[in-house]
Structure 1
Amino acid sequence: MLEIEERVDRLEEAQHEFVLSVGIEFNKLYNSQMRTEAELRAFKDEMKDFKDEMHVFKQEMKDFKDEMKDFKNESRQANREMNRRWGELANKMGTLVEDLVAPNLPRIVRELLGQEVMDLSVRRKRRLADGRTWEFDAIALTAGDLVGLNSTKSTLRSADVDHFARELEAFREFFPEYAAWPVVGILASLSVEESVLTYAERQGLVVLGVGDQIMEIKNRPGFAPKYW
């Protein structure tokens, strides 16, 4: 009987220790879960704060890009206006070719024709034996044996286009040394109307005008110059 009581006591003690142990482990698990949930809540709060900060950052970047776009547009407009005024001043002084067109011809020829200008002359005049005289505003000679012939007008008109076409036809008569060289006609002006630009393009003429750069190509995409 005593032995049974001892076994029962040991069993009750073991059961008590088991319940106590389970309680401790459950309490640990519960505390761990509470910490995890707290950490998750904190993480979610941090993510929300991060998203809010990113939203503010994106808005600031958008505002910055808009400001930069406005600044570039204003700078571009100011640059165009400065170039226009410079052109008007050069025109009044009679140095439009020397100051605006000729310095930009090498770049224009390189961009449009892919050739380097090796010789550039301004106000080139030639007199024939029969007394006829013709003056060309600018002549650019490239390393690839090509002639870029320029005519510059303050305001370009259809009549100027027709006159320049006659100049191109007469060029080799006045400069027979370039008889075998292809010739590209390059018109330049401070002001070019769309209708005149279209008329010049139909005749295969390059047209330059004041823009972001002092002189830029005004021909539309897909334009191919004519070789005389």
Structure 2
Amino acid sequence: MPAPLPATAERVDRLEASIDRFVASVGIEFNKLYKSQQRTTAEMREFKDEMREFKDEMREFKDEMREFKDEMREFKDEMLGFKAEMLGFKAESIAERREMNRKWGDLANKLGTMVEDLVYPSLPRILRETLGREFDSIQARVRLRLPDGRVREFDAFAIAPEVAALNSTKATLRSADVDRLIDEIAAFREFLPARAHLPVVGILATLSVDDSVLNYAERLGFLVLAVGDQVMEVKNRPGFEPRFW
């Protein structure tokens, strides 16, 4: 058999060398791939462990939240019970205070001291709440005399720079007492000429007031007071505006 030609042998050697390099390169890449796969497998195993721990933590958290919800439900039930007890206590306190004020009013009426004991102490608060101003002077049981000798007693009145308030107190308030307050306002201006220029707010005070009398007094623009939760309180309906005489 004839010997290979030199060019052919050289090509064969190069081919074998290329195959060796390819095989070596494939081995290297396979080794890299294998190591990468190993890392990925380890990372996945670590991730699965972390997820398992996270699921356990979430399960514990859900259990804690369930316990918290149960505790909150119990607390809510206790608060509802406490609220009901407080409402009952408040209703009893209001009823007791109203009864005490009524008895106080009856006693003051028997002693003839309704103005001093009930009306006069309540006037600053009532005037502030209804007229929105403070009064410089509030007096009770005032007897005034004119130069001609006539004498007039007023239950109570209050003076401010721009307005006056005149009170008439009756144990039992009747429609005729409402009418008489108009005359008292005129007498007030006559007996206090220095204040005659001031507009006057009329105030009627009593132990309790009948709805028909209250309606009549409101039509004339008078404030009406009676014994209530705060000793004397305004009985006019919401939105009522007193008349300035």
TM-score, with structure 2 as normaliser? 0.77
Indicate the residue corresponding to 2:104 in structure 1.
86
Answer yes or no: is 1:97 the counterpart of 2:131: no
Instruction: Report the aligned-residue RMSD.
Output: 2.7
Residue 54 to residue 130, structure 1, CA distance change in 2 (3 Å): same
- The residue number in structure 2 matching 1:135 is 153
Q: Which runs of 5+ in 1 are unaligned?
A: 1-6
Shift of the 110–30 alpha-carbon distance from structure 1 to 2, 3 Å rule, reads closer
After TM superposition, give the deviation of residue 97 of structure 1 in Å: 0.5
CA pair 16-133 structure 1, distance change in 2 beyond 3 A: closer
Aligned length: 218
Q: How many angstroms apart in 1 are the aligned matches of 2:181 and 2:106?
A: 22
- 1:181 correspondence with 2:198: yes
Report the Cα distance in structure 2 between the residues aligned to 1:174 and 1:123, rounded to whole angstroms: 14
Change beyond 3 A, Cα 1:30–1:204: same
CA distance in 2, matches of 1:26, 1:52: 38
Q: 1:203 aligns with which of 220, 223, 243?
A: 220
Greater C-alpha Rg: 2
Structure 2 residue aligned with 1:111: 129
Amino acid at match of 1:31: D
Alignment partner, residue 220 of structure 1: 237
Q: Percent same amino acid among aligned pairs?
A: 55
Q: Quick one: distance in 2 between partners of 1:148 and 1:169?
A: 13
Residues 29 and 172 of structure 1: is their aligned pair in 2 closer, same or farther, counting only changes over 3 Å?
closer
What is aligned with 1:4?
none
Name the aligned partner's letter for residue 89 of structure 2: F
Greater RCO, CA 8 A, separation 6+: 1
- CA–CA distance in 1 between the matches of 2:48 and 2:123? 83
For 2:175, the equivalent position in structure 1 comes to 158
Aligned to 2:92: 74
1:177-225 Cα distance to aligned partner (Å, 9 max, x none): 2211111111111111222111101101011111121111111121111
Q: Gapped runs of 5+ residues in structure 2?
A: 1-23
How high is the TM-score relative to the length of structure 1? 0.82
Residue deviations 1:120-150, cap 9 Å, x none?
22222234456644321112112x2422111
Give matches, 1:45-64, under 5 Å: 45-64=63-82
Could you report, residue by residue, the CA deviation over 1:93-143 in whole angstroms, capped at 9, with x for unpaired residues? 11010111112112222221222222222222234456644321112112x
